[in-house]
Structure 1
């Protein structure tokens, strides 16, 4: 965060800056008449010349101008012009110029009240400079606050789209493909229903779809199929729409049919068949794993679904586990893949039927387990009861024998006493 520390009264500081910009004759009468905003207007217009002033004086001069502008209750009316001036090339600092300008803009951004609409325009200017300097990393920590800022600025959908689209380009230039993709999705969410088929919406939708298809790590296409702008591609770009459907819910055989029919189109669109084919195999393996009821997936079945030799199956299983589409363990001895966990690519009627079948199987198994437990419990209780009866019988028998001996002994003693 940047701060601006300046001391002095407004007229004195304005005179100092006017002298530095060589416009004292224009500003002095306005200061004497106490028309501060008119004086500021002159200073802001003349500040465009600072881009050719010595590099070491640039930041100090602009800090002074920023301080003066912030003294005005109408500061917002000057900030747009200042941002335009700062964003132009700083000819006195061809290498450090963008960094200097970025520091000044950041200072302005942090000095303005958080709910000021001027912050939106300044943030756009900052994004333009970040794009020029390729310094996405410096911006990344601040993006955590972006949603909060957008709410505070009460930005409309078009303004939000400007921000997200610019951020998508900046992230892409920085090699941050996933971040760029997420910003494109946010941009697509800003289109009202009346504009989902507009050229801008369609271009962005295609950009997102191409990025998702060619990404080596993106396997969940639900984020695209749920967007109205992407759904509108079915009318304007049928091949892309069909390809999305295949990658969302179909299998390798369907992709191979599409490729055979659209080989020229794929090449024209610069869509790499090797990349798509590999991803489709992984998605197909995930689907096969999800549909198996026994949780034991035979290598032969995998080989058939992926159209690969059996000896290559383990390599593909390892890849699908690395892609976090499936969890499980291979049994080379049994030639099966033991599926522990898998995620459905799409959850529709077919998947509901599979789930219902699996629940029925579980219910049947649980009922059988319950019957076994109940039977074992009954047998255990019966055995326990038999053992209790046996103990009671033995105790009763032992007690009867002991009582008879005592009586017999007492009689004998009586008889002996009588003699």
Structure 2
């Protein structure tokens, strides 16, 4: 098929109508095709004369959709470029949005047919729009198409600009939810983006703070998903999830109470509590894709860190052994694992069989942690003030001594 390149004075939109009509009716024979092509061109001209841009877009999209599977991608890109440019014709922003909505809806109806090209068309449409809400609408269509068409790699670069886009779009809570959830789903499909996906899930759940109970139920499935993702992750040990209303609602939920108990266990308890939980809920854990051995590994690291917060900074080997339920010769290797995971900074004293900890991470950061931080900052402030006073006092003494020495010399 030849590439569409307008070379006459004919309006590009009319040229596209003629091209797509001829292509879609080519198999019907010249007698039938000629009449249909003429009819569509006349109808298109009437739309243009009467400024019926939405009707023109609908007419063009119908013909373009017919040839989508058989036309070359180069021809289709040219055709849809002209169609997308129709959003520049109306003066009313409402009409522009209607056209953008029609194009985006039509383009995303068959996401598995040339999905990468469809994405390219949507981003071309996005770049032609000036109204922030229309931009957001088309962008969401693009994200959903990327998921359905399994071409999420084509939208990853745009996700890095989400914070700036949010400022431009000035979205309401409902639209923010849709965006955060779509981004989380896209990142989930890409290796190495699990933590970013989790963070967007958390942002999604945070939008439910202050909502009534009926609205909060919308977040139950994603709240469960967030908890399971947290427990599964081998490198996530901290979180303020328990305080989030969207997650707290699961505590007394008949279906999901066990999920909440699991989260609370991983954020506030030690290995022995997990083993008790597993003994009665092994089937439940497997149903959510959780591997017992992986959970034990994570709980051992968490339990080790928890010992630091409850001790004076020196942890005996014997206590680590009993808490982690390991052998004597495994103690140091688990300490090294905790250091590697950046859960603590410490020194291993083999002679005295203790671990001397200089820093450790808290699993949760609530009121107690804020109070402890406030106390540390207050002490730091006092210490700095004492140092400054000492320096000033020494300076005064030194100045006095120098002045006395000068008088004696004279």
**TM-score, length-normalised on structure 2?**
0.76
CA distance in 2, matches of 1:269, 1:354: 36
Aligned to 1:14: 13
CA distance in 2, matches of 1:195, 1:8: 63
Larger Rg: 1
Contact 1:51 1:86 in 2 (8 A): no
Q: What per-residue deviation string (whole Å, max 9, x for no partner) do you get for residues 107-128 of structure 1?
A: 1111211x43111221122112
Matches within 5 A, 1:36-115: 38-55=55-72, 56-73=74-91, 74-89=95-110, 97-113=114-130, 115=131
Aligned to 1:311: 329
CA distance in 2, matches of 1:310, 1:197: 52
Instruction: Say yes or no: does 1:328 pair with 2:346.
Output: yes
Instruction: Say yes or no: does 1:247 pair with 2:266.
Output: yes
Partner SS state of residue 315, structure 2: strand
CA distance in 2, matches of 1:337, 1:226: 32
CA distance in 1, matches of 2:235, 2:60: 53
CA distance in 1, matches of 2:152, 2:325: 43
Contact 2:239 2:365 in 1 (8 A): no
Q: What per-residue deviation string (whole Å, max 9, x for no partner) do you get for residues 179-218 of structure 1?
A: 2211211211222521477443111100000000111111
Q: What per-residue deviation string (whole Å, max 9, x for no partner) do you get for residues 255-296 of structure 1?
A: 222223333433444432212111111111001123221x33
Contact 2:111 2:148 in 1 (8 A): no
Aligned to 1:400: none
Q: What per-residue deviation string (whole Å, max 9, x for no partner) do you get for residues 270-328 of structure 1?
A: 432212111111111001123221x3322112112211111110111011111111111
Structure 1 residues 156 and 195: alpha-carbon distance in aligned structure 2, compared to 1, 3 A threshold = farther
CA distance in 2, matches of 1:13, 1:354: 69
Q: C-alpha displacement at 1:356, in angstroms? A: 11
Superposition RMSD on alpha carbons, in Å?
A: 3.6
CA distance in 1, matches of 2:148, 2:298: 34
CA distance in 2, matches of 1:174, 1:66: 30
Q: C-alpha displacement at 1:347, in angstroms? A: 5.4
Contact 1:251 1:284 in 2 (8 A): yes
Aligned to 2:206: 189
Matches within 5 A, 1:128-207: 128-175=144-191, 176-191=193-208, 192-195=210-213, 198-207=216-225
Q: C-alpha displacement at 1:20, in angstroms? A: 1.4
Q: C-alpha displacement at 1:245, in angstroms? A: 1.6
Aligned to 1:262: 281
Contact 2:228 2:288 in 1 (8 A): no
Q: What per-residue deviation string (whole Å, max 9, x for no partner) do you get for residues 337-393 of structure 1?
A: 22121122245687799999999xx99xx9xxx9xx9xxx9xxxxxxxxxxxxxxxx
Unmatched 5+ residue regions in structure 2? 22-39, 395-410
Aligned to 2:402: none
Contact 1:164 1:187 in 2 (8 A): yes
CA distance in 2, matches of 1:43, 1:355: 64
CA distance in 2, matches of 1:33, 1:250: 71
Contact 1:15 1:24 in 2 (8 A): yes
CA distance in 2, matches of 1:357, 1:76: 55
**TM-score, length-normalised on structure 1?**
0.75
Aligned to 2:302: 283
